[in-house]
Amino acid sequence: MKAVVFHQHGDEGVLQLTEFPDPTPGARDVLVRVKAVALNHLDLWTRQGWPGLKLELPHILGSDIAGVVERVGPEVKDLAPGTEVLVNPGLSCGACERCLRGEDNLCRGYRIIGEHVRGGYAELISVPRQNILPKPTRLTFAEAACLPLTSLTAWTMLVRRAGVQPGETVLVHAAGSGVGSAAVQICKLLGAKVIATASTEEKLKRARELGADHTINYREKDFLDEVKRITQRRMVDVVFEHVGAATFEKSVACLPNGGRLVTCGATTGYEVKLDLRVLFYKRISLLGSTMGSKGDLFRVLQLVGEGRLKPVLDRTLPLADAALAHRLLKDRAQFGNIVLLP
């Protein structure tokens, strides 16, 4: 099969389109012919590497995969070749207490396809049967690939971790990102008001089209000052944070007594400042989140099928242009998701 791989960590120049051995599915696995794979910032971080990350090289990136069943292992009886499917990127043991409680993303053996194991920048991928979901029929493969990691992450952050309630106000940072554009929609589905930030007027317009009630161009205005103005200093109940060092301190300052900040990433850096006196005196909750349970993705896909949530596709590129796609994502030159087509 053709695949984009890297043999060493580095910038996007390490990505190479090459011939790679076809994966061999195990007894309970499904071989999927990849039709579309969406990018995430996780791809950039994994390509660059970090202390303690150990990968089998060469590595294949790509977590968000839509495709068609090519063949199945002998113990898989409920899927036929040709079935259109979506891949849940979260891998877990399926046997521990956490997994059996439906909290598989808290499994001690939890891994993510494309990060810890080889992913979908390829023509074929083999995954466990439990990671296969039906592709929403109303979506193209490229649209479907926008959903798993970003939508499930945003859903878990807002529903499971922050517990957003109707009438609350949520500050969503970087609404032009995949996870940010999903967050705006989920907040509105939950009955919350949304203040969205982005770097350009075009992205802010798109955020308003998704339902954002107020928007802030963070390149032109201080988002903390704008939050004070918009809320008449009431501040926001929840901050949806995934930017990191560049926004964290002011994000905390946007919270009132009892406010919640939930975060899933650190695209601008992971070392932040926090005054503990603010944390305990204002009774603030700081919530970390990574991905979500396999079961919750079924709920997300149900809402997509009903038209109540929708994927946000920025553009598609051929698999051979993976390096270009990484540069676009690094430069925040997209709104929503960039998708590669093998």
Instruction: Convert the pLDDT of each residue in 60-109 to its tens digit.
Output: 999 999 999 999 999 999 999 999 999 999 999 999 999 999 999 999 99
Domain assignment of residue 225, yes or no? yes
Shared-domain flag, residues 56 and 102: yes
Q: What is the mean pLDDT of the chain?
A: 95
Is residue 248 domain-resident? yes
Considering the domain architecture, whether residues 64 and 140 belong to the same structural domain is answered as yes
DSSP annotation string for 289-327: --S--HHHHHHHHHHHHTTSS---EEEEEEGGGHHHHHH
Please determine, for residue 158, whether its predicted confidence score (pLDDT) is greater than 90. yes
pLDDT at site 47: 97
pLDDT tens digits, one per residue of 182-232:
999 999 999 999 999 999 999 999 999 999 999 999 999 999 999 999 999
76 inside domain: yes
330: CB partners within 8 A, 6+ apart: 12, 44
The DSSP code for 12 is G
What was the pLDDT predicted at 29? 97
- Position 303 in a domain: no
Tell me, yes or no, whether 129 and 197 share the same domain. no
For residues 20 and 111, state if they share a domain: yes
Are 179 and 101 found together in one domain? no
> Based on the number of CB atoms within 10 Å of its own CB, is 103 exposed (0-12), middle (13-18) or buried (19 or more)?
middle
pLDDT confidence of residue 52? 87
Kindly state whether residues 56 and 22 are assigned to the same domain.
yes
Residue 264 has pLDDT above 90, yes or no: yes
Q: Name residue, tokens 């990191």.
A: 244
pLDDT for the residue 51: 87
Residue 319 pLDDT class (50, 70, 90 cuts): very high
Residues 51 and 78 in one domain: yes
Using DSSP bridges, classify how beta strands 260-263 and 238-241 pair: parallel, antiparallel or unpaired.
parallel
pLDDT of residue 83: 97
Q: What is the CATH number of the domain that holds 281?
A: 3.40.50.720
pLDDT tier, 19 (very low <50, low <70, confident <90, very high otherwise):
very high
Task: Examine the domain organization and report whether 156 and 134 are in the same domain.
Answer: no
How confident is the model at residue 202, as a pLDDT? 95
Q: Is the peptide bond before 58 cis (omega within 30 degrees of 0)?
A: yes
- 305 assigned to some structural domain: no
Whether 191 maps to a domain, the answer reads yes
User: Would you place residue 42 in the very low, low, confident or very high pLDDT band (cuts 50, 70, 90)?
Assistant: very high
Q: 153: part of which helix (H) or strand (E)?
A: helix 148-155
Q: How confident is the model at residue 267 (pLDDT cuts 50, 70, 90)?
A: confident
Dist CA 70 CA 81 (whole Å): 5
Which residue bears the tokens 């589905």?
189
Domain, as residue range, for 203: 151-288
Say whether both 163 and 133 belong to one domain.
no
Identify whether 188 is part of a domain. Answer: yes
201 and 167: one domain? Answer: yes
Please count the structural domains in the chain.
Answer: 2
Together in a domain, 123 and 160: no
Is 18's pLDDT higher than 90?
A: yes
Q: What is the CATH number of the domain that holds 26?
A: 3.90.180.10
156 in the same domain as 137:
no
Asked if residue 169 is part of any domain, the answer here is yes
Beta bridge partners of 86: 66, 133
**Which pLDDT score is estimated for 269?**
86
pLDDT band at 336 (very low <50, low <70, confident <90, very high): very high
